[in-house]
Chain A
């Protein structure tokens, strides 16, 4: 704003024109939870563990910054590519400490991923949701 431009007068109520415009327009408020807002692709939502792909390698537990992934004993045969693997343990996630950074998903060697971030916007609703997996 160059100095020669006439310095606009100081006056109260400078926002009045914009306020008048909004008076009849639609308010900007997003009415969550009545209206669910679309979550962008790649949104880091709640974490899920898929039992049939997990081979129990506990890489996710090692890499988790908040140590909220705990390996519990759970024997099962899992198909990994051509061969089947007999796993001894699988991860459970303590959602209250999970910061949804996604490092576990990156560290997981299986394809499709045994532990992954969904795009679920909500966190844990009831007590039973607090532990996932």
Chain B
């Protein structure tokens, strides 16, 4: 891989510029779908971009007694973490940065934003933010375990820790989703919780804690944080597509060169939109549950299901099925 192609990959195509556009498009798709489900019109196409620019122009208020650099740095680190994670998710074929074990790296990078949200909330000397931060932390453990297990399943089936290999294992058309539907369901719900979307938007419960950990965050910081949240949404969905729905492969079509890449990307794009549609439907269909209910439900239902799926996957491996 020559340096130029790597730089192009990093900054232009699946990298920085494309990611910005894709993230805003995902947010528009999510909000438009939510609106149409609620019998409303929904935002115009460029709304997320307009929100971002508007926030950039807003005054950057720094809470007294809080280090401005820390408050400014946290959203940037979160943004960097999820943007890097996106590089490892194969869009066209294998990602040039792919390496054995990059699944673990992606999972770790996706966890970072929540921890940063906790630090952001805890250090912003605001009672709403502090309570929201504690909620974000307690919610972290509830969904992190099932999400890891749900990602472990496909890796187990493909006997590899590299996302690219998992995708290739499904190239033959036998998607993990068909083999482990339970795992897919757990992954979807856990991703909804990880992204703190209704019914799991407990840390930022608008009607109770104003904006939770983000209460004191304004201007550029909020703009970057929302962007990081959009990218996390896209990266999470792309990861699920790669692990469960065969990523950029279309069963029975193995073309090389430009055409193959285009079809691969098209498949990936459609599948990601489907996953985002499911997430938007969940967001529209239910109300927010309380933190104590989430914790009990998480450990009583979500994690056992994930473990069951892993057990089934191991038994299947033993029997010799893929």
Q: Do A and B bind each other?
A: yes
Q: Report the Cα distance A19→B37, complex, angstroms.
A: 5
Q: Is the CB of A19 within 8 A of B41?
A: no
Most buried by B among A20, A25, A29, A31: A29
Q: Is the CB of B36 within 8 A of A23?
A: yes
Stretch at the interface among A10-18, A50-58, A121-129: A10-18
B281 contacts chain A at the CB level, 8 A cutoff: yes
Q: Is the CB of A27 within 8 A of B285?
A: no
Q: Is the CB of A13 within 8 A of B286?
A: yes
Q: Report the Cα distance A13→B42, complex, angstroms.
A: 21
A28 contacts chain B at the CB level, 8 A cutoff: yes
Q: Report the Cα distance A12→B282, complex, angstroms.
A: 9
The smallest beta-carbon distance between B289 and chain A, in angstroms, is 9
Q: Is the CB of B286 within 8 A of A19?
A: no
Q: Is the CB of B285 within 8 A of A28?
A: no
The smallest beta-carbon distance between A36 and chain B, in angstroms, is 17
Q: Report the Cα distance A15→B39, complex, angstroms.
A: 12
Q: Is the CB of B41 within 8 A of A23?
A: no
Q: Which residues of B contact A31 (CB under 8 A)?
A: 41
Q: Report the Cα distance A15→B282, complex, angstroms.
A: 11
Q: Report the Cα distance A31→B44, complex, angstroms.
A: 14
Instruction: Using CB atoms, name the residue of chain B closest to A12.
Output: B286
Q: Give the secondary structure class of A's interface.
A: loop
Please tell me which one of the listed residues B33, B40, B281 contacts residue A27 in the complex, with CB atoms under 8 A apart.
B40
Q: Report the Cα distance A102→B40, complex, angstroms.
A: 35
Q: Which residues of A contact B37 (CB under 8 A)?
A: 19-20, 22-23
Instruction: Using CB atoms, name the residue of chain A closest to B199.
Output: A12
B284 contacts chain A at the CB level, 8 A cutoff: yes
Size bracket of the A interface: 10 to 19
B38 contacts chain A at the CB level, 8 A cutoff: yes
Q: Is the CB of A19 within 8 A of B40?
A: no
Q: Report the Cα distance A19→B281, complex, angstroms.
A: 9
Please tell me which one of the listed residues A15, A16, A22 contacts residue B36 in the complex, with CB atoms under 8 A apart.
A22
Please tell me which one of the listed residues A16, A20, A22 contacts residue B38 in the complex, with CB atoms under 8 A apart.
A22
Q: Mark A23-53, 1 if CB is under 8 A from B, else 0.
A: 1110111010000000000000000000000
Q: Report the Cα distance A13→B199, complex, angstroms.
A: 11
B134 contacts chain A at the CB level, 8 A cutoff: no
B115 contacts chain A at the CB level, 8 A cutoff: no
Q: Is the CB of B284 within 8 A of A19?
A: yes
B77 contacts chain A at the CB level, 8 A cutoff: no
The smallest beta-carbon distance between B43 and chain A, in angstroms, is 12
Q: Which residues of A contact B199 (CB under 8 A)?
A: 12
Please tell me which one of the listed residues A15, A22, A23, A25 contacts residue B285 in the complex, with CB atoms under 8 A apart.
A15
Q: Is the CB of A16 within 8 A of B40?
A: no
Q: Is the CB of A25 within 8 A of B39?
A: yes
Q: Report the Cα distance A16→B286, complex, angstroms.
A: 9
Instruction: Using CB atoms, name the residue of chain B closest to A27.
Output: B41
Q: Is the CB of A28 within 8 A of B40?
A: yes
B35 contacts chain A at the CB level, 8 A cutoff: yes
Instruction: Using CB atoms, name the residue of chain A closest to B34.
Output: A19
Q: Is the CB of A27 within 8 A of B286?
A: no
The smallest beta-carbon distance between A24 and chain B, in angstroms, is 8
Q: Which of B25-74 contact A (CB under 8 A)?
A: 33, 35-42
Q: Which of A74-99 contact B (CB under 8 A)?
A: none
Q: Report the Cα distance A28→B40, complex, angstroms.
A: 6
A16 in contact with B35 given A27-B40, A29-B41, A31-B41 (CB within 8 Å): no
Q: Which residues of B contact A20 (CB under 8 A)?
A: 37
Q: Which residues of B contact A24 (CB under 8 A)?
A: 36
Q: Which residues of A contact B35 (CB under 8 A)?
A: 27
Q: A19-B281, A27-B41 are known contacts; what are 7 more A-B pairs with Cβ within 8 Å?
A: A13-B282, A15-B285, A22-B37, A23-B33, A27-B35, A27-B42, A28-B39
The 3 A-B pairs at the shortest CB distance, nearest first, are namely A13-B285, A19-B37, A22-B39
Between A and B, 15 residue pairs with Cβ closer than 8 Å are: A12-B199, A12-B285, A13-B282, A13-B286, A19-B38, A22-B37, A22-B38, A23-B33, A25-B39, A27-B35, A27-B39, A27-B40, A28-B39, A28-B40, A31-B41
